[in-house]
Amino acid sequence: MQIVYRAANIIDANLVKAALEQVGVPAFVAGEYLTGGMGQLPMSDLVHVMVADLDVERARPVVDGIDAALREDAGPLVADDPYVPTAG
């Protein structure tokens, strides 16, 4: 199995897993239960979406599409936001 997506949280990971399974690519969320042990401490790089080696090529366009959509939805940086007052 190979990691095709490094998720920020378990919700993102399960959404990617569902998208992959919708196009016929079986997927597995690794590290899903590790986040519970962290409590309120910041965590990073614990949750991954994995697919079989044979499915990596089929999974890549789905994951890339989700990444692109997330970047578009992120909107402008706070510093560029016209509604945030700046000193000056």
pLDDT digits (tens, 9 = 90+) for 41-68: 556 677 899 999 999 999 999 999 988 8
- Helices and strands counted in the chain (H then E): 2, 3
Average pLDDT, rounded, for the chain = 79
What is the per-residue pLDDT for 31? 84
What angle do helix axes 10-22 and 56-73 make, rounded to 10 degrees? Answer: 130
- Asked whether the predicted pLDDT for residue 87 surpasses 60, the reply is no
- For the four alpha carbons of 22, 27, 33 and 35, in that order, the dihedral sign comes to negative
Helix (H) or strand (E) holding 36: none
The residue ranges of every structural domain in the chain are: 2-75
The better pLDDT of the pair 67, 86 is held by 67
- Asked whether the predicted pLDDT for residue 1 surpasses 90, the reply is yes
- Please tell us whether the domain made up of 2-75 is placed in CATH 1.10.10: no
Q: Decide: 47 and 13 in contact? Cβ < 8 Å.
A: yes
